[in-house]
A and B are shown apart, each in its own frame.
Chain A
Amino acid sequence: MSHGANKADKIKEISGVNPLKCMKCGKCSATCPAFDEMDIKPHQFVSYVVNDDIEALASSKSLWKCLSCFACIERCPRSVQPGKLIDAARQLVVREKGADYLKADEIPELLDEELPQQLLVSAFRRYRR
């Protein structure tokens, strides 16, 4: 990806987040249930956007580890809501052709008898376009 600054603006626009409000308290990362699995942590997302380093964000595996559980969004004392930045970065990626994290062909082998439809529609919506 090129035009880092444009992408950062796009992330701010999609997410509606003002990353400059962040006071680096780290509460988002402390409360994130996926913290251990993330290479870029929720509180770091904010700095990457401020520094226009979108290339790194877009290739971060954190995009696919976020659960959309809204813990960081609920518990952010400054209403920065880093989960929205993660989602916007994920949107930028999956809106590009061929960048889906979930391919339809993968589905059959991931299924089991009890798996609810809700899981599939949710995963499709978060992981691909």
Chain B
Amino acid sequence: MKYTYYPGCTLRTKAKDLDAYAKASAKALGFELEEVTQWQCCGGVYPLGSDEIATKLSSVRVLNEAKEKGQDLVTLCSACHHVIKRVNDDMKNVPDIQSRANNYMKLPEPYKGETNVLHFLEVLRDRVGFDNLKKMVTNPLTGKKIGAYYGCLLLRPGEILAFDNPENPTIIEDFIKAIGATPVVYPYRNECCGGYISLKEKDMAKSMCDTIVESAKGFGAEMLITACPLCMYNLNKNTVGDVPVYYFTELLAEALGVKEDAE
């Protein structure tokens, strides 16, 4: 199985691990991530304004390439996933954005939201299947107590992201079970880490991250996993806590016994 793959800016720089472990794992699981030929940054945050067109075009280009190849589009970074998935929804359901974006793009055939956007975790759940993943695990992380940190971007708005129940998600907990570890459910797992606020309002980000980490620790988590480089940064940088944070792909590669294969 081949997917069109959009890595995004940070996976080429500060979050190379997130990307490399995902690719090694995909290989072990029997699917291929074929990188978009000429991608641009998604912009990091979804432009909410109904009159924002130019800021959505990099997503449209990627979505259209996947459409032309007849493949589903896979993302890894929570922010890229959020932006691209929402732009796709606009292209499908908001006629004004659809026509104005297509006027810019001048594609041979207008893009109308045809591409199916999947987060890597959705590929694991809906295409590979967590039961199958479990069977392919050679090095189960037995006994590890892991807290899933969802953050905001994968879940909200639930109607558009359609990733999982936005208030009571289970996908990352199910992933944790599939790799042989024990999920720790804690109340702040879907609350914001502060995101970009940590650039200029460090105290705010610090207080939010402390709350998250203390909550996870209080419920017995030994480590946290995330899909987002910015959550990773904030949870590492802006807490006094000593709970290590990993990308979910690192633990996946470890469980599949391919961690050393990651470039």
Q: Which residues of A are in contact with B by a Cβ distance under 8 Å?
A: 13-16, 33-34, 37, 64-65, 67-71, 73-74, 83-84, 87-88, 91, 101-102, 110, 112, 114-123, 125-127
- The answer to whether A122 touches B196, judged by C-beta atoms less than 8 angstroms apart, is yes
Identity of the chain B residue whose Cβ is nearest the Cβ of A37 in the assembled complex: B204
For B152, the chain A residues whose CB sits under 8 A away are: 67-71
- The answer to whether B204 touches A118, judged by C-beta atoms less than 8 angstroms apart, is no
For A84, the chain B residues whose CB sits under 8 A away are: 48
Identity of the chain A residue whose Cβ is nearest the Cβ of B41 in the assembled complex: A121
- The answer to whether B196 touches A16, judged by C-beta atoms less than 8 angstroms apart, is no
Most buried by A among B156, B167, B201, B236: B156
User: CA separation between A120 and B13, bound complex, in Å?
Assistant: 13
For A91, the chain B residues whose CB sits under 8 A away are: 49
- The answer to whether B199 touches A110, judged by C-beta atoms less than 8 angstroms apart, is yes
- The answer to whether A125 touches B9, judged by C-beta atoms less than 8 angstroms apart, is no
User: CA separation between A13 and B52, bound complex, in Å?
Assistant: 12
**Known contacts A34-B197, A110-B199; 17 further A-B pairs (Cβ under 8 A):** A13-B51, A33-B192, A65-B201, A69-B192, A70-B152, A74-B158, A84-B48, A114-B14, A114-B236, A117-B10, A118-B15, A118-B228, A118-B230, A119-B195, A121-B41, A122-B44, A125-B44
Which residue of the partner chain, among B157, B191, B233, contacts A114 with CB atoms under 8 Å?
A: B233
Closest beta carbon of chain B to A17's beta carbon, Å? 10
For B50, the chain A residues whose CB sits under 8 A away are: 13-16
- Can you show 26 pairs from A to B with CB atoms below 8 A apart? A14-B49, A33-B194, A64-B200, A65-B201, A65-B204, A69-B192, A70-B156, A74-B155, A83-B48, A84-B48, A110-B200, A114-B14, A116-B230, A117-B9, A117-B10, A118-B10, A118-B77, A118-B228, A119-B198, A119-B230, A121-B41, A122-B44, A122-B45, A122-B195, A125-B47, A125-B55
User: CA separation between A58 and B47, bound complex, in Å?
Assistant: 19
Confirm or deny: B237 has a beta carbon within 8 angstroms of a beta carbon on chain A: yes
- The answer to whether B229 touches A118, judged by C-beta atoms less than 8 angstroms apart, is yes
Most buried by A among B158, B195, B232: B195
